[in-house]
Amino acid sequence: MPESAQQVTPVTPVTFPSSFLWGAATSAYQIEGAVREDGRTPSIWDTFSHTPGKTAGGETGDIAVDHYHRYREDVALMAELGLNAYRFSVSWPRVQPTGRGPAVQVGLDFYRRLVDELLAHGIKPAVTLYHWDLPQELEDAGGWPERDTALRFAEYAQIVGEALGDRVEQWITLNEPWCSAFLGYASGVHAPGRTDPQASLRAAHHLNLAHGLGTQALRSVMPARNTVAVSLNSSVVRPASQSPADLAAARKIDDLANGVFHGPMLHGAYPATLLEATSSLTDWSYVHDGDLRSINQPLDALGLNYYTPALVSAADAGAEGPRADGHGASAFSPWPAADDVMFHQTPGDRTEMGWTIDPSGLHELIMRYTREAPGLPLYITENGAAYDDKVDADGRVHDPERIAYLRGHLAAVRRAITDGADVRGYYLWSLMDNFEWAYGYGKRFGAVYVDYATLARTPKSSALWYSKAARSGELAPVDGI
């Protein structure tokens, strides 16, 4: 058993409230496949993954794990594992192929069937409207740096809300807008692969605006009982020391990772320190009168995605700026106006992604937002780990490292609940192995193993462990499977 697992295993049982949601999460482009079927047109990830050199081995989501055709099998598997919640995303170009105009009903019908299947198995669906698959035609018109994209998103949100709002109660507008803005438009390691720091800041604002307008659109067409949230990959940013320079570096990265989104969403304003730090790049004149009121919609819940903390310091003289931040290799930084900041690898065991395993960061994040937005229910909408999983001679996939990871982080969630946080559910990332963006199929985050040659699904030992937790509300020992 890894040392880290021993450290987080308490002597007394860790139990959760009976109402706690035990779920798993996926996203459309990573699992669906069927990219040219039933009227779907290319998204920016179709274009990006088909561009030589952009993904590992030139791999694409053309087939992914064929969930579009195998969704009934996948829902049955969730039910077998005892999950009571499932978070999935809707493919914008499957529903509204050009990003404009009327919906393609056959595209919506897929999600209607999926929702019906989930409900029939007693699994609560949570819909994410945007998990990075912008219709390519909207990118051709300028993408997220253009204000019109936010307006188009509101129209799309209304279409999906009208189609599914009678049966889906939990809604999430955006998943990790930080990645969309800064990996997509600053470092270029994600679609659409642009490297323009000014454009990335404009994209961040228009993603915020899309969230606000999309929230209004959803509420205009859905029953009042439905909830609207957003999922942020807020960073736990720690300074390397308490020196004024390192504290200033941490402040700058915290603004760029967190404040740029939760500032306007939760408080109706961008942090003054963010505006000052980025003044060499932009005057923020694209923030129009009324935008901040539109963005600052009352939320019903907040989704938090967590994987690893960040450790930063002021850059040494002559350093080239932040590169080793865990967000892929690029000659361009995803942190605009932050070349005076250095990222450092935090100590401890690491996952296959090279990310340090630190459950204390999840507890810290939860407690921060308990203070940042008192009274707002929280969900952990993504948390998980990639490991180099192998099938053994008996056809099983044993992944004790992932069990230790999940147990440690779920124990941190339970500790936060004990400390007064209102955390109502946990969505493991991911239900099954899938297309891991620029890493192709080389990084396996799934609790269910997928043989990419046959697409056969095999629950790993971590899935069986998580199944026991979901059914009992208790965290078994790491070696309990």
User: Which pLDDT score is estimated for 316?
Assistant: 86
Q: Which two tokens stand for residue 175?
A: 């998943």
Q: For the CA atoms of 143, 86, 413, 383, what is the dihedral angle to 10 degrees?
A: -50
Give per-residue pLDDT as tens, 276-285.
999 999 999 9
The residue from 32, 176, 401, 436 that is catalytic is: 176
Residue-wise pLDDT tens digits, 106-156 = 999 999 999 999 999 999 999 999 999 999 999 999 999 999 999 999 999
Q: Is 273 exposed, middle or buried (0-12, 13-18, 19+ CB in 10 A)?
A: middle
Amino acid at 231: S
d(CA 337, CA 375): 34
Instruction: Report, as ranges of residue numbers, the positions in the chain whose pLDDT lies below 50.
Output: 1-11
Burial of 82 (0-12, 13-18, 19+ CB in 10 A): middle
Task: Supply the pLDDT for residue 4.
Answer: 44
Joined together, the tokens standing for residue 114 give 């999926």
| Catalytic residue flag (residue 372) | no
The pLDDT score that the predictor gives to residue 321 is 53
Active site residue 176: yes
At 4-61, the pLDDT tens digits run: 444 444 446 789 999 999 999 999 999 999 999 999 999 999 999 999 999 999 999 9
Tokens of 99: 């990003």
Q: Bridge-partner residues for 476, per DSSP?
A: none
Q: Which of 32, 172, 48, 184 is nearest to 94 (CA)?
A: 32
Beta strand 170-175 pairing with 124-130: parallel
What pLDDT is recorded for position 14?
A: 82
Instruction: Give me the pLDDT at residue 8, please.
Output: 47
Q: Which of 214, 132, 129 is CA-nearest to residue 172? A: 129
Residues paired with residue 428 on neighbouring β-strands, in sequence order = 24, 383
Please tell me which residue in 32, 59, 139, 382 is annotated as part of the active site.
382
Q: What is the pLDDT of residue 478?
A: 86
**Given this model, what pLDDT does residue 320 score?**
63
Question: Residue 9: its pLDDT value, please?
Answer: 46
pLDDT of residue 3: 40
